[in-house]
Chain A
Amino acid sequence: MTETILILISAVLVNNFVLVQFLGLCPFMGVSNKVETAMGMSLATTFVLTLSSVLAYLTWSWILVPLELEYLRTISFILVIAVAVQFTEMFVRKASPLLYRVLGVFLPLITSNCAVLGVALLNVRKEDASFMSSLTYGFGAALGFSLVLVLFAAMRERIAVADVPVAFRGPSIGLITAGLMSLAFMGFSGLIKL
């Protein structure tokens, strides 16, 4: 139980995937213009990230390791993630057309989110990787991604109406803001030694 909480805090705050490890920056910059879309994206990413983290671990321990094909992990994880995303998309479309419409184009976009592949790869690199730790690590990474994405979207709505110098408008002030957020997140360093 303690270990689960530690993994969660580590993935959400101390080693936040966006602000500390700089993974998943494309959706972070791309879908943060409005809070509502950022929330939709967070929801979809949370589901896919948790699912694909577990699936990638199972692929690793049941297929790649017994067959001694560890060097194929990158390409096989990409395949697993793409399948997971497609499966999620089909399921959501059938089960809840409303949610499917809310999420829209963001669902297939998750395939190219490098945080998803990053979680899968970082997971199997650990010595004591297990089913539970993969699940919590994937979920924690997704929570951390969602947290900073929603906070960033709310900030960008405010910056959009600020009197920013012309040369810095749009993505450039967004990146400067992301840098300052990353600076603030350095305060969490050393909180947990894992």
Chain B
Amino acid sequence: MSLITVTSPHTTGQRNHTGAFMRQVIYATIPGVAVLTWLFGWGTLFNLIIAVPAALIAEAAVLKARGRDVRFALSDWSAVLTAVLLAIAIPPTSPWWLIVIGIVAAIVVAKQLYGGLGMNPFNPAMVGYVVLLISFPLEMTRWIAPHEAPSWFDSFRMVLASANVDAITGATPLDSLRTWAGNAEQLASQPILHGSFAGAGWEWVNLAFLLGGIYLLARKIISWHIPVGMLAGMALIALPFWLADDVRYASPLFHLFSGAAMFGAFFIATDPVSAATSRYGRLIYGALIGVLVWVIRSNGGYPDAVAFAVLLMNMAAPTIDYYTQPRSYGHRKAKRGASR
């Protein structure tokens, strides 16, 4: 009798292939992208069209230089996913070179220098985003006022960086909150802060990404620990401050449906490579991201903070893993890092 030994994972078929998982995440962004396009025009789609080939070229160039199998690495769709996430995160008014610089920072520096998929300690898309935010603060905070969507031709001209975009730009809910926090009169008169149930326009963006996130949860692509931890952490720290002083601090509901909250909770923070790995560790990881987002939004120098909070917790993820090693079956509590 001959026995064939096969190493794990013992799965068959294409459904559990890395590429299949990545594609599911990309499909889940569709509702969010649709709402972004409806509110802000074609800019997001143009960003996507530039970002995806740029990411593939950057990845292929590094792999070629290292003498690795280019076709195999590109077939896992991870570069495409990074490009999609970065294209969604940056404003739809951005010129074409902005996203190209971001993609190079994300794919080359944050991902390939660490050895490619599965090795990167930082979330590549968020490294790209933060590099852009710090280098080009003007372009990166220029959002269109909701429902003022320019025609596809105007969007195209913005991509080529020749159009004057100032006429249609407006403050996002988080921008006006930062400007007017503590001033009850101004807060009441800003229409952008009073949408159907949160900041105008942005509540629908967040709702759409929540929908995509629920799809990912239902397909078991992500576990619930990180998004629930992050949203709960954010709401629980916002609640007491809002109850104490609702002129200075925004409500938990406003925070949950503003900026990149839902997008960050379901699509960014859940990156399995750069997040904590144990269940308990993931809850801590998510909750601390939520707390950091609230702290930087309410007191910091930047209107939104999901990218910074995710990078800061990426930094802490190995340490969280170190202290939350689960007990292996048949052994007592994990020794390493328990006490020393």
Q: Is the interface of A mostly helix, strand, loop or mixed?
A: helix
Q: Are A191 and B299 in contact (CB under 8 A)?
A: yes
* Among B121, B302, B318, B337, contact of A190 (Cβ-Cβ < 8 Å): B302
- Render A140-162 as a binary contact track against B, CB cut-off 8 A, 1 for contact: 00000000001110110111001
With A155-B315, A162-B119 in contact, is A176–B295 under 8 Å at CB? no
Give Cα A155–Cα B120 distance, bound, in whole angstroms: 10
Of B11-19, B226-234, B303-311, the one touching chain A: B303-311
Is B181's CB within 8 Å of the partner chain A? no
Q: Are A164 and B114 in contact (CB under 8 A)?
A: yes
Give Cα A158–Cα B319 distance, bound, in whole angstroms: 10
Of B126-134, B237-245, B254-262, the one touching chain A: B126-134
Give Cα A15–Cα B89 distance, bound, in whole angstroms: 28
Give Cα A165–Cα B337 distance, bound, in whole angstroms: 30
Q: Are A191 and B296 in contact (CB under 8 A)?
A: yes
User: Measured between C-beta atoms, what is the minimum distance from B38 to chain A in Å?
Assistant: 30
Contacting residues of chain A (145-194) with chain B, CB-CB under 8 angstroms: 150-152, 154-155, 157-159, 162-165, 168, 173, 176-177, 180-181, 183-192
Give Cα A151–Cα B322 distance, bound, in whole angstroms: 10
Give Cα A151–Cα B312 distance, bound, in whole angstroms: 10
Contacting residues of chain B (308-327) with chain A, CB-CB under 8 angstroms: 308-309, 311-312, 314-316, 318-319, 321-322
Q: Are A184 and B311 in contact (CB under 8 A)?
A: yes
Q: Are A168 and B308 in contact (CB under 8 A)?
A: no
Is A36's CB within 8 Å of the partner chain B? yes
Is A35's CB within 8 Å of the partner chain B? yes
Is B300's CB within 8 Å of the partner chain A? yes
Is B182's CB within 8 Å of the partner chain A? no
Q: List residues of chain A with CB within 8 A of the CB of B316.
A: 151
Give Cα A150–Cα B312 distance, bound, in whole angstroms: 14
* Among B121, B301, B311, B321, contact of A189 (Cβ-Cβ < 8 Å): B301
User: Measured between C-beta atoms, what is the minimum distance from A172 to chain B in Å?
Assistant: 9
With A165-B66, A189-B301, A191-B299 in contact, is A181–B115 under 8 Å at CB? no
User: Measured between C-beta atoms, what is the minimum distance from A97 to chain B in Å?
Assistant: 17
Q: List residues of chain B with CB within 8 A of the CB of A36.
A: 340
Is B150's CB within 8 Å of the partner chain A? no
Give Cα A155–Cα B337 distance, bound, in whole angstroms: 15
User: Measured between C-beta atoms, what is the minimum distance from B96 to chain A in Å?
Assistant: 23
Give Cα A182–Cα B258 distance, bound, in whole angstroms: 26
- Render A35-65 as a binary contact track against B, CB cut-off 8 A, 1 for contact: 1100100000000000000000000000000
Q: Are A35 and B337 in contact (CB under 8 A)?
A: yes
Q: Are A163 and B318 in contact (CB under 8 A)?
A: no
Is B70's CB within 8 Å of the partner chain A? no
Is B110's CB within 8 Å of the partner chain A? yes
Q: Are A186 and B308 in contact (CB under 8 A)?
A: yes
User: Measured between C-beta atoms, what is the minimum distance from A107 to chain B in Å?
Assistant: 18
Is B42's CB within 8 Å of the partner chain A? no
- Render A113-155 as a binary contact track against B, CB cut-off 8 A, 1 for contact: 0000000000000000000000000000000000000111011
Q: List residues of chain A with CB within 8 A of the CB of B321.
A: 154
User: Measured between C-beta atoms, what is the minimum distance from B102 to chain A in Å?
Assistant: 13
Q: Are B121 and A158 in contact (CB under 8 A)?
A: yes
User: Measured between C-beta atoms, what is the minimum distance from A166 to chain B in Å?
Assistant: 9
User: Measured between C-beta atoms, what is the minimum distance from A65 to chain B in Å?
Assistant: 36
Give Cα A161–Cα B319 distance, bound, in whole angstroms: 16
Contacting residues of chain B (98-116) with chain A, CB-CB under 8 angstroms: 109-110, 112-116
With A164-B114, A173-B114 in contact, is A184–B130 under 8 Å at CB? yes
Q: Are A187 and B113 in contact (CB under 8 A)?
A: no
Q: Are A159 and B114 in contact (CB under 8 A)?
A: yes
* Among A159, A164, A183, contact of B311 (Cβ-Cβ < 8 Å): A183
| Closest B residue to A36 using CB positions | B340
Is B143's CB within 8 Å of the partner chain A? no
Is B122's CB within 8 Å of the partner chain A? yes
| Closest A residue to B110 using CB positions | A180
| Closest A residue to B305 using CB positions | A187
Q: Are B122 and A180 in contact (CB under 8 A)?
A: yes
With A155-B121, A158-B318, A165-B66 in contact, is A180–B311 under 8 Å at CB? yes
Q: List residues of chain A with CB within 8 A of the CB of B110.
A: 180
User: Measured between C-beta atoms, what is the minimum distance from A39 to chain B in Å?
Assistant: 7
Instruction: Report 5 cross-chain contacts, Cβ distance below 8 Å, ordered by A residue.
Output: A158-B121, A165-B112, A189-B301, A191-B296, A191-B299
Q: Which residue numbers of B lie inside 8 Å of A, CB to CB?
A: 66, 109-110, 112-116, 119, 121-122, 127, 130-131, 134, 292, 295-296, 299-302, 305, 307-309, 311-312, 314-316, 318-319, 321-322, 337, 340
4 cross-chain pairs, A with B, having the tightest CB-CB distances, nearest first: A190-B301, A187-B308, A163-B115, A184-B311
